[in-house]
Amino acid sequence: MRKTAALPVAMVATVALLAACSGGDAEPAASESAGAGGTGTLTIWVDENRQPAVEAAAADFEAATGVTVELVQKNFEDIRADFLAQVPTGEGPDITVGAHDWLGSFIVNGVVDSVDLADADAFEAVATEAFTYDGQLYGLPYALETVAVVRNTELAPEPTPDTFDAMIEAGRASGAKLPFVINTAGTTGDAYTYYGLQTSFGAPVFEQNEDGSYTTDIGMGGEEGQAFAAWLGENGMAGTGLFSTDWTYDIAVQEFADGNAPYTIAGPWAIAAFEEAGIDVAVDPIPSAGGETAAPFVGVQGFYVSAQSENALLANDFLTNYMATPEAQTALYEADPRIPALSEVAESVAEDPIVAGFLAASQNGTPMPSIPEMADVWEYWNAAQSSIISGSAEPAAAWDKMLADLESNLG
Amino acid sequence: MSTHVHPAPADPGGTVREPHARRWDGTGWGFLVKLALMAVVNAVGVGVVWAAWVQGAWGILAASLVLLVLADWAYFSKRALPMKYILPGLVFLLVFQLFSMGYTAYVAMTNYGTGHNTTRDQAVDALLIQNERRVEDAPSYPLTIVQRDGAYGFAIVDEGVVRVGSADEPLVAAPDATLDGTRVSAVPGWEVVPYATLMSDQALQQEIVDLRVPVSDDADAGSIRTREGTTGSVYRSALVWDPDAVTMTNTETGVVYSASDEGSFVAPDGTALPVGWRVGVGFDNFTRAFTDDDYSGPLLRITVWTFAFAILTVATSFLLGLLLAIVFNDPRVRGRKVLRTLFILPYAFPAFLSALLWQGMLNSNPDYGIINQLFFFDTRIPWLEDPLLAKLAIIGVNLWLSFPYWFLVCTGALQSLPDDVMEAARIDGAGRWRTWRSITMPLLLVSTAPLLISSFAFNFNNFTIIYMLTGGGPRFTDTAAVLGHTDILISMIYQISGVAGGRADFGLASALSIIIFVIIGTISALAFRRTRKLEEVL
């Protein structure tokens, strides 16, 4: 008996598995008959942090329209790949939360629909710019994040100076072990955190059009790029030792939290660790190292609509009329405190000096390029910076090799 | 085992008693339970078939139908006794092994990857979406959906003037319309569709999303569309899809893009539209792995290193484990139990955690890296930055991780060796070394050789340690491929597949994983054949 009992169970499991492969439970059949006085269903992918806030907006939407909103909680890291894989099979959600720099690959894979915001000007310019691709808006932005100078107010009570050299001088004068610490991701290299310093030399990763959108022309070459590379080398481990490939994210956070450095460049995600360590911090824009304004990357989080959504109308209604409201955006801020993309909400939460500091830094910044080519740049860019900082490569040569590799790779 | 098998007791009727699961008479519980379970199986099966029908997934429909019929036949037929035991295993083999292998082979023959992610129809949809633009500075109009003779239209309010139209009739002013606030509440000749009706009818929603109402007779002026049913704006599309000719035409430049064999729309001058679709490319991916300069050079070096890594890891950890097993198997060693427990500890930690810890400990700066601080007198040794040292570090850490396994296995094998053979050897006058070489070692290898082979196969694909310890670095400096000195084949595939966030090429990655499968399969088959010879010797 025990044997025969086990077999059908196995069968059930197998068949259930096949069902999962076929991807269609009985759901499509159910929603097809929705016309007969029933209501539609809207499927939304959210991550754990944002679920409560989206839930609140969904409840309003359900009450007003009678539509059922189904929230599927997913790991944020999995969403991009799953969305790319599932939308073409007709299985993806109607709406998903996501980061703006996924947009390029969503576009070339044809999985995302455009969005029409009645009042796009109500958002921070950098936020809508980030979700704009080739002149068209592809998502509802809701939060910004960027890196800025985080200052230990005990070691450096004065606001961060305007130039990098002056900041280092103040750092040395503070008597701390290190004048400044920055995450280099060990030997991997972290061009993201260094980008503000790079742009102050006038060497953006890609050239921008007048409307802020990125071209595929590399902007890191020429004299400006070389000047930045030379500067990295001078201050690397073979030079003044200001930068080091020994610093991973953990080490950089630890050094700052231990009070060994008065300044660091970090994002809002590191603040909790500093506060836990009992360090009083202030947030200032990144000082200029090369003379121009330091423009760090701004990452924008938002919501995308699937190109294969069968409920495009509902999805757009939900996004533009329920999620784009100050109430919903405030709820999102409270659920997951990042700088709000809706200017009105951003101003109201800017009483928090740390939020205000990052907001000010983000207003100097440029959106991280969302063109698909960007995905190919990181590896080469990180590696070149790392080899220059460690002193294992000659700056000009390493920079030129990176540009040549990118040139051949981007075609 | 010496008792005889009793014949099945005959029931009063004289027939042979049936198994519980088939009995009708008496309580028949076995049969009822079977019936209930099979009912569940059938219900789920029919559900799957129905879902597959709705989705138009014919392959899955056919497969699940066959499986379902097979299951019913196997469990209700009297002649299918062996099948009852084999079927579940067979089904799992089919679903988990053959299906995934077949699918990998299929993907390897396509250009599936970034830019070729969908079907052609979906690519067309996406291109049309991307190229239909809101006309610059076009305002958002309050919009109401109206209906006349089953055809839908839009009524918008443009600076106080109501204008109404449908797909066939451009917008015209409707001065008699009544307004409710900013929105149209009634238009003579048209019936207003309430928002609630719209919300509850998915087919209607789709129709409204697809509806375009021309602004005027001039086609270039664009048309009104709505995205959420309450506001509309003027849009203009730059691309026109011709399903018969299978071409996309850009109305602004006049360029005609036609579908190519490579799965994208290509203009005569070679430029392609961004969204492509999946097509079969035959063995292109396989030839590319060997001929593309970016991959062929690294592929060779990485293959050599993969073999070196797998062989060295197995050899070093086996020898160290064996040595320790011999030492701690000697009754003269004191505190053997405690020492044995200590040696097994590395095996108890999850490998990926250990690898991450080692990465921190191997930091070349002695202030941060405890290895350099404690064992190398604060010297700066770039363990993870120098190609050779990084390889040594990987083999060293993997040795630390895997010798306890061999220590355990060898201890067990040594303790199970028959004493009488050893004694016989001693009586025959064999010395310690001779006994070891001719008796102990061969006997030990009989039981450990299959494990050595499977350990080799495991390490051949040991992604964890590479990814967590060095991430494949340090990078090759003489190729443009994003690969490094410590990458093994599996981490190379991971890089190429683009799962990490780069541009994906699933076709190439699948082709490479098939190549790895062939390599490992061949080696394992050959090695197992050798093992059998080992057994025949004794």
Helix (H/G/I), strand (E/B), else coil: A4: helix
Show residues of chain A in contact with B229, CB under 8 Å.
Answer: 313, 317
The string of pLDDT tens digits covering residues A143-181 is 998 999 999 999 999 999 999 999 999 999 998 999 999
Contact B91 A244 (CB under 8 A): no
Nearest Cα to Cα of residue A308 among A32, A106, A149, A136: A106
Q: Percent of chain A beyond pLDDT 90?
A: 44
How many Å apart are CA B456 and CA B274, to the nearest integer?
A: 44
Task: Quote the pLDDT of residue B314.
Answer: 95
Show residues of chain A in contact with B480, CB under 8 Å.
Answer: 405, 408-409
Q: Which of A136, A245, A312 sits opposite B209 (nearest CB)?
A: A312
**β-bridge pairing A41-46 and A95-99:** parallel
Q: Is the pLDDT of residue A21 over 70?
A: no
A411 contacts chain B (CB < 8 A): no
Task: Quote the pLDDT of residue A37.
Answer: 39
Nearest Cα to Cα of residue B57 among A306, A308, B65, A307: B65
The string of pLDDT tens digits covering residues A288-315 is 999 999 999 999 999 999 998 888 888 9
Show residues of chain B in contact with A6, CB under 8 Å.
Answer: 88
Residue B269 burial by Cβ neighbours in a 10 Å radius (0-12, 13-18, 19+) = exposed
Q: pLDDT averaged over consecutive 10-residue blocks of chain B (538 residues)? A: 46 54 63 88 92 84 89 84 84 85 92 87 88 82 87 87 87 85 84 82 84 83 85 87 89 88 89 89 88 82 93 95 89 84 83 88 87 88 90 94 92 87 85 86 88 90 90 81 89 80 82 87 84 67
Q: Which of B91, B118, B369 sits opposite A110 (nearest CB)?
A: B118
Nearest Cα to Cα of residue A396 among A239, A235, A229: A229
Shortest distance between the Cα of B340 and any Cα of chain A, in A, equals 35
Contact A135 B133 (CB under 8 A): yes
Contact B41 A11 (CB under 8 A): yes
Residue keyed to tokens 């576009």: A107
Search chain B and give the residue with CA nearest A320: B228
Shortest distance between the Cα of A327 and any Cα of chain B, in A, equals 20
* CB environment A14-41: b (16+ within 10 A), e (fewer): bbebbbebbbbeeeeeebeebeeebbbb
Contact A88 B122 (CB under 8 A): yes
Q: Is the pLDDT of residue A2 over 80?
A: no
Length of chain A: 411
Q: Which of B20, B122, B129 sits opposite A114 (nearest CB)?
A: B129
The string of pLDDT tens digits covering residues A85-95 is 899 888 889 99
Q: Is the pLDDT of residue A136 over 70?
A: yes
Task: Quote the pLDDT of residue A3.
Answer: 37
Q: Where are the beta strands (DSSP E) in A74-169?
A: 95-99, 112-113, 132-133, 136-137, 140-146, 148-152
Contact A317 B230 (CB under 8 A): yes
Contact B129 A186 (CB under 8 A): no
Q: Give the largest Cα separation in chain B, rounded.
A: 120
User: Which stretches of B292-418 are DSSP H helices?
Assistant: 293-329, 336-348, 351-361, 370-375, 387-415
Backbone angles phi, psi at B31, to 5 degrees: -65, -40
Q: Is the pLDDT of residue A31 over 80?
A: no
Task: Quote the pLDDT of residue A162.
Answer: 92
Contact A19 B206 (CB under 8 A): no
Search chain B and give the residue with CA nearest A322: B228
A161's tokens? 């100076």
Shortest distance between the Cα of B186 and any Cα of chain A, in A, equals 22
Contact A313 B227 (CB under 8 A): yes
Contact A136 B133 (CB under 8 A): yes
A314 contacts chain B (CB < 8 A): yes
Q: What is the mean pLDDT of chain A?
A: 85
**Which of A1, A3, A7 to probe the B interface (max B CBs under 10 A)?**
A7
Contact A5 B38 (CB under 8 A): no
Contact A80 B501 (CB under 8 A): yes
The string of DSSP letters for A41-53 reads EEEEEE-TTTHHH
Task: Quote the pLDDT of residue B125.
Answer: 87
Q: Which of A10, A67, A108 sits opposite B199 (nearest CB)?
A: A67
Helix (H/G/I), strand (E/B), else coil: B470: coil
Q: Which of B231, B276, B499 sits opposite A118 (nearest CB)?
A: B231
Show residues of chain A in contact with B95, CB under 8 Å.
Answer: 14, 17-18, 21
Task: Quote the pLDDT of residue A199.
Answer: 94
Show residues of chain B in contact with A76, CB under 8 Å.
Answer: none
pTM: 0.78
